[in-house]
C-alpha cells in the first residue's frame, strides 16, 4: 500500500481535473499536507470493516416539512364478486391471480400443498428455458404448505396470503438458505436470519418456494449462472434487476414475487415481462436483511399478475420495523370498492404525441377518462438526471467498497463499461462536494415536484422507460406498472406515478385500467 506521503502537489494538480478546479502551486502545497490527514482517516474507517447492511446515520425521508398525511389505519377491503369454479387443469390454476387463489384456499377448494406442488413442477420444468431460479426451496416450501393447510383446517386463516407460494429476489436474506446477490463473490453466502419482509410474509402464511434471479448485485438480468429470459420471447432478457421475479410471475411459476428497485429494477422488468409491479413510496417497506445498493433509494415491492394482488402483498409488508432507519409507519388503507370519481390524473402532453408513442398509451388516457377520472396536462420540473447521478454512484460504490479494494470484483461475470466493477471504480473519483451538491438538487426537485403535483392524484406515463419515472426514484414517489395490451406477441404496459404514500389510489386506478383493457389474462407462449 502506498504511503500517504505519496500525495504531493503534483498529485493534486492531476486530481483537480476530477472536480473541474484549478488551484495555485501554493494552494496545492498546503492542501497536500491536509489531505494526507484525510487519508489516514479513510484507512481507519476501512479497518472498521463495515458490512453491507450498516446504513449511514440520518437516512432519507421523502416527506417535506409542510406535508400532512392520514394517520388512521383501517382494515383492508378486497373486491367482491363470485368466486370462479376451481379449474381442472393445473395450468389454469397456476395462472390465477392471488385474489382468486386465496379464496380457493380459504374455502378449502384448493390446498396449499397442491398449489405448491403445481408451482414446484413448473419451476423445475420452465427454469431450463428462463433461468430465473437460483435456489429452489422444495423441502421447506412443502413443509410450510402442509402447515398452512393444517391451520386452515383448524379454522386459523391468517389472511389473503395464507398458503400462497411466492418467490423472493435473491438479495432478500433467508435464514439457513443461501442468498447470493446474483454475484460470484457471494454465491455461497448464507444469512443468519430472515429479512424483515420474508419474516412478515411467513407471518402472513405465505409459502416461500424459490429464491429468484437478479442481475449481479442488482444490475441487469445477467447473474452468475445465466441470463434470465422473458417468457414472451426467450431471445430477449427479462430486463433487470428483478429479472427472475418478473419472469417467474409472468410464466405462472409462483403466485407472486418480491422485487426491489433503486433505479428501474421493478418498473423495467415488469414492462418487459408484462407483469404488474408496485414500487412503494420510499420508506414504506423496511429493507432490513436486503442487500443494500443505495441506502437513500432502495425500495422493496410486489410483482404480481393482477393489480389488486399488489395491495394484498403490500398490506403484509407495510410499516417500520425499528431497524431500518429510513422506514416510516404510514397507514395503507386500501378499499377496492371505492369509486374513482373526483380523482385527477396528470399527463405530460408531448409524451402522448408523435410516432414514438404507442396507441395503447393514448388509449390508456382515454380509458381513464371513461372511468370517470379527470385527466389534464401537467408541467413537471425539468431536471437533468445527470446532475443527480452522483447520489447513486457514490452510495453504490460505498456499499461495495470492500469488493473493489479486495479486487474480488474481477470475479464478476460482467466487466463492461456499464457493469458494476467499472462503475464502482469510477464513482470513487466523484468529489464529496459533488455528492452533497447533488443531494441539495434532489431537495429542490422534491419541492418543485410537490408544487407540480398540486391538485393531481397521480400521473400517467407511457410504457417505455422515461425521465419522469426515473426522477421519482430520487424523490421517493410510488409507481404502478401494469400491462394494458399484448401486441404482436409482446406485452405493452403503462406506468402510473402517485403522490407520496398514495399507493391505494394508484392501485384503484390500475384496477380500472385492467378491467377496461382486459389484457391481464393473456399468457405468454411457454406451455
What are the helix (H) ranges across 193-288? 196-203, 243-250, 267-273
Q: Does residue 62 sit within a domain?
A: no
Rounded Cα distance between 391 and 413, Å, is 25
Cell reading at 123: 419451476
Instruction: For residues 363 and 292, state if they share a domain.
Output: yes
> How many CB atoms neighbour CB 45 within 10 A?
11
> Dihedral of CA 348/354/358/364: which sign?
positive
CB 295 within 8 A of CB 265: no
Rounded Cα distance between 400 and 424, Å, is 8
Q: Does residue 522 sit within a domain?
A: no
Per-residue pLDDT of 163-191, as tens digits, reads 999 999 999 999 999 999 999 999 999 99
102 as an active site residue: the answer is: no
Q: Rounded to an integer, what is the distance from CA 37 to the centroid of its chain? A: 40
Q: Does residue 82 sit within a domain?
A: no
Q: Does residue 67 sit within a domain?
A: no
* Cα separations in angstroms, 348 against 212, 225, 388, 512: 35, 41, 21, 21
What are the helix (H) ranges across 48-83? none
Q: Rounded to an integer, what is the distance from CA 427 to the centroid of its chain? A: 23
Rounded Cα distance between 197 and 149, Å, is 22
Q: CB within 8 A of 362, min separation 6: which ones? A: 352
Q: How many domains does the chain have?
A: 2
Phi, psi (deg, nearest 5) at residue 270:
-65, -40
Instruction: For residues 266 and 182, state if they share a domain.
Output: yes
CB neighbour burial string for 349-372, b if at least 16 within 10 angstroms, e if fewer: eebbeeeeebebbebbbebbeebe
Residue 220 sits in a domain of what CATH number?
3.90.1300.10
Domain that includes residue 366, residue range: 90-382+445-517
Instruction: For residues 112 and 18, state if they share a domain.
Output: no
Pairing relation of β-strands 374-377 and 479-487?
A: unpaired
Instruction: List the catalytic residue out of 112, 169, 245, 371.
Output: 169
Residues facing 77 on adjacent strands: 335
Rounded Cα distance between 442 and 3, Å, is 37
Cell reading at 237: 432478457
Pairing relation of β-strands 344-347 and 233-237?
A: unpaired
Cell reading at 5: 506521503
Instruction: For residues 44 and 94, state if they share a domain.
Output: no
Instruction: For residues 263 and 170, state if they share a domain.
Output: yes
Helix, strand, coil distribution of the chain in percent, nearest 5: 40, 15, 45
Instruction: For residues 131 and 17, state if they share a domain.
Output: no
Q: CB within 8 A of 380, min separation 6: which ones? A: 348, 449, 452, 459, 468
> Dihedral of CA 283/286/288/292: which sign?
negative
Rounded Cα distance between 161 and 282, Å, is 23
Cell reading at 415: 466487466
Q: Does residue 140 sit within a domain?
A: yes
Instruction: For residues 234 and 354, state if they share a domain.
Output: yes
Beta strands in 114-227 (DSSP E): 133-136, 165-169, 207-212
Cell reading at 299: 425500495
Q: Does residue 329 sit within a domain?
A: yes
Cell reading at 279: 414500487
169 as an active site residue: the answer is: yes
- Can you tell me whether residue 350 is helix, strand or coil? helix
Cell reading at 384: 437533468
3 as an active site residue: the answer is: no
Instruction: For residues 324 and 243, state if they share a domain.
Output: yes
Instruction: For residues 35 and 141, state if they share a domain.
Output: no
Instruction: For residues 188 and 326, state if they share a domain.
Output: yes
Rounded Cα distance between 249 and 259, Å, is 11
Instruction: For residues 378 and 462, state if they share a domain.
Output: yes
Instruction: List the catalytic residue out of 111, 213, 241, 245.
Output: 241
Q: Does residue 71 sit within a domain?
A: no
Q: Does residue 492 sit within a domain?
A: yes
Instruction: For residues 21 and 156, state if they share a domain.
Output: no
CB 479 within 8 A of CB 267: yes
Rounded Cα distance between 472 and 476, Å, is 6
Instruction: List the catalytic residue out of 102, 265, 268, 371.
Output: 265
Show the low-confidence residues of the chain (pLDDT under 50): 1-2
| Secondary structure in 3-state letters for 192-217 | CCCCHHHHHHHHCCCEEEEEECCCCC
> How many CB atoms neighbour CB 18 within 10 A?
12
Residue whose grid cell is 502551486: 25
Rounded Cα distance between 173 and 179, Å, is 6
For position 156, what pLDDT does the model report? 97
Amino acid at each position: 500500500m502506498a504511503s500517504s506521503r505519496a500525495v504531493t502537489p503534483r498529485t493534486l494538480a492531476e486530481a483537480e481535473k476530477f472536480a473541474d478546479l484549478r488551484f495555485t502551486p501554493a494552494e496545492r502545497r498546503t492542501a497536500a499536507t491536509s489531505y494526507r490527514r484525510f487519508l489516514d482517516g479513510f484507512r481507519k474507517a476501512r479497518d472498521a470493516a463495515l458490512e453491507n447492511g450498516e446504513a449511514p446515520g440520518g437516512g432519507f425521508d421523502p416527506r417535506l416539512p409542510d406535508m400532512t398525511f392520514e394517520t388512521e389505519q383501517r382494515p383492508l377491503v378486497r373486491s367482491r364478486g363470485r368466486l370462479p369454479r376451481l379449474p381442472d387443469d393445473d395450468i389454469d390454476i397456476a395462472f390465477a391471480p392471488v385474489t382468486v387463489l386465496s379464496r380457493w384456499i380459504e374455502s378449502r377448494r384448493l390446498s396449499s400443498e397442491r398449489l405448491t406442488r403445481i408451482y414446484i413442477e413448473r419451476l423445475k420444468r420452465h427454469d431450463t428455458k428462463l433461468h430465473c431460479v437460483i435456489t429452489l426451496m422444495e423441502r421447506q416450501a412443502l413443509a410450510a404448505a402442509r402447515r398452512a393447510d393444517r391451520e386452515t383446517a383448524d379454522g386459523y386463516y391468517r389472511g389473503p396470503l395464507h398458503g400462497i407460494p411466492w418467490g423472493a429476489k435473491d438479495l432478500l436474506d433467508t435464514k439457513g438458505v443461501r442468498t447470493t446477490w446474483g454475484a460470484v463473490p457471494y454465491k455461497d453466502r448464507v444469512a443468519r436470519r430472515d429479512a424483515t419482509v420474508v419474516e412478515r410474509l411467513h407471518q402472513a402464511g405465505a409459502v416461500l418456494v424459490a429464491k429468484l434471479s437478479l442481475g449481479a448485485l442488482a444490475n441487469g438480468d445477467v447473474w452468475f449462472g445465466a441470463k434470465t429470459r422473458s417468457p414472451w420471447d426467450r431471445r430477449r432478457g427479462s430486463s433487470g434487476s428483478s429479472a427472475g421475479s418478473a419472469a417467474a410471475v409472468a410464466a405462472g411459476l409462483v403466485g407472486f414475487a418480491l422485487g426491489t428497485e433503486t433505479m428501474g429494477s421493478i418498473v423495467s422488468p415488469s414492462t418487459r415481462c408484462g407483469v404488474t409491479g408496485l414500487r412503494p413510496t420510499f420508506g414504506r417497506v423496511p429493507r432490513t436483511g436486503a442487500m443494500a445498493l443505495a441506502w437513500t433509494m432502495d425500495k422493496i415491492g410486489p410483482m404480481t399478475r393482477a393489480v389488486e394482488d399488489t395491495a394484498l402483498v403490500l398490506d403484509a409488508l407495510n410499516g417500520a420495523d425499528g431497524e431500518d432507519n429510513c422506514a416510516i409507519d404510514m397507514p395503507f388503507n386500501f378499499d377496492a370498492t371505492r369509486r374513482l370519481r373526483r380523482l385527477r390524473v396528470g399527463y405530460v402532453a408531448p409524451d402522448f404525441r408523435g410516432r414514438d408513442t404507442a396507441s395503447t398509451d393514448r388509449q390508456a388516457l382515454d380509458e381513464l377518462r371513461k372511468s370517470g377520472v379527470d385527466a389534464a396536462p401537467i408541467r413537471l420540473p425539468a431536471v437533468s438526471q445527470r446532475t443527480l447521478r452522483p447520489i447513486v454512484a457514490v452510495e453504490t460504490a460505498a456499499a461495495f467498497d470492500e469488493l473493489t479494494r479486495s479486487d474480488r470484483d474481477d470475479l464478476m461475470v460482467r466487466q463492461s463499461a456499464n457493469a458494476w466493477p467499472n462503475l464502482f471504480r469510477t464513482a470513487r473519483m466523484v468529489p464529496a462536494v459533488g455528492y452533497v451538491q447533488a443531494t441539495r438538487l434532489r431537495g429542490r426537485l422534491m419541492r418543485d415536484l410537490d408544487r407540480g403535483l398540486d391538485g393531481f392524484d397521480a400521473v400517467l406515463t407511457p410504457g417505455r422507460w422515461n425521465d419522469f419515472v426515473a426522477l421519482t426514484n430520487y424523490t421517493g414517489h410510488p409507481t404502478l406498472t401494469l400491462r394494458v395490451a399484448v401486441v404482436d406477441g409482446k406485452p405493452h404496459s403503462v406506468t402510473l406515478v402517485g403522490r407520496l404514500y398514495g399507493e391505494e389510489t394508484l392501485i384503484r386506478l390500475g384496477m380500472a385500467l385492467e378491467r377496461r383493457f382486459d389484457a391481464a389474462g393473456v399468457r405468454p407462449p411457454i406451455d
